[in-house]
Amino acid sequence: MNILPLKMSLQFVTLSLSKCLQGFKSTILNSIFSKIKNSYMKFTMTTIALLLYLNLQSQEAMTELPYTAIPEAPETYTAGTVVSRMIDGLGFRYHWATDGLTEKDLNYKPGNDGRTIAETMEHIHNLSLTILKSSQKQARDFSEKVPEMNMAERRLATLQNLEQASALFKTTDDLTEHKVIFKRGDNTSEFPFWNQINGPIEDAVWHAGQVVVLRRAAGNPMNPKVNVFLGKLND
């Protein structure tokens, strides 16, 4: 009996099975490696996001932020001390309206046409610059570029602007000297201090309230212990 054809058939079958198994192993290994790679990328991105958030929180923790409470009221009523107190009230509201916001909260907005919380905070920061310039008897020059800041840095800068403006207004004797001056290139527009009250100061209070509403809608309401009447946290 000639067993050569049978032997060759067996070799062919064995070779075919070997190739099939190699292909099968390759497919399984590629699938496993792909899943490992995707899991690693997700883990890496999550870790980076967590580290960025912790970094923002640590920056705030290391820096004493103004307006955890409203400062002691002045002993006398003057035009300057009243304006100073108005700004302190704004600072207190803004401090707690923006306390403990997450990256998800910052990107929240109620609709396609509204501002996000982050964009609202940026607007309040710009208003704080106008308030500060008025307290310094200087023009708000829009050609001066505002430095790039993350949200923690912008929040701190806003609070510090308000704190500095409050201190300057507290000592003023004549509010007519603190005009609102806008400079855009060669064009300068000037307004009396009355416009500072119903303009940037009240506008900033308005938008601080918007942040409170937006963060509640985003699922992260403001600290319920905030007492804006007493200017401190309830016990």
Q: What is the pLDDT along the chain (235 residues), one digit of tens a residue?
A: 555 555 556 566 566 656 665 665 566 656 666 666 666 666 666 566 555 555 555 554 556 899 999 999 999 999 999 999 999 999 999 999 999 999 999 999 988 788 999 999 999 999 999 999 999 999 999 999 888 999 999 999 999 999 999 999 999 999 999 999 999 999 999 999 999 999 999 999 999 999 999 999 999 999 999 999 999 999 9
Alpha-carbon distance of 23 to 19, in angstroms, equals 6
Rg (CA), the chain: 31
For residue 140, the 8-state DSSP code is: E
Encoding tokens for residue 101? Answer: 């916001």
Q: For 137, left (φ over 0), alpha (ψ -120 to 50), or beta?
A: left
Dihedral angle sign, alpha carbons of residues 149, 159, 94, 123: negative
Confidence (pLDDT) at 64: 82
Q: Are strands 232-233 and 180-184 parallel, antiparallel or unpaired?
A: unpaired
Alpha-carbon distance of 187 to 172, in angstroms, equals 28
Alpha-carbon distance of 94 to 92, in angstroms, equals 5
| 142 closest CA partner among 178, 182, 200 | 182
Confidence (pLDDT) at 86: 98
Alpha-carbon distance of 76 to 71, in angstroms, equals 14
Query: CB-based burial of residue 39 (10 Å sphere; 0-12 exposed, 13-18 middle, 19+ buried)?
Result: exposed
Cα distances from 28 to residues 16, 35, 37, 210, in angstroms, run: 18, 11, 14, 53
For residue 39, the 8-state DSSP code is: H
Q: For 231, left (φ over 0), alpha (ψ -120 to 50), or beta?
A: left
Alpha-carbon distance of 227 to 194, in angstroms, equals 28
232 bridge partner residues: 227
Q: Tokens 């310039």 — which residue?
A: 133
Confidence (pLDDT) at 45: 61
Question: Do 223 and 233 touch, CB atoms closer than 8 A?
Answer: yes
Three-state DSSP state, 219: coil
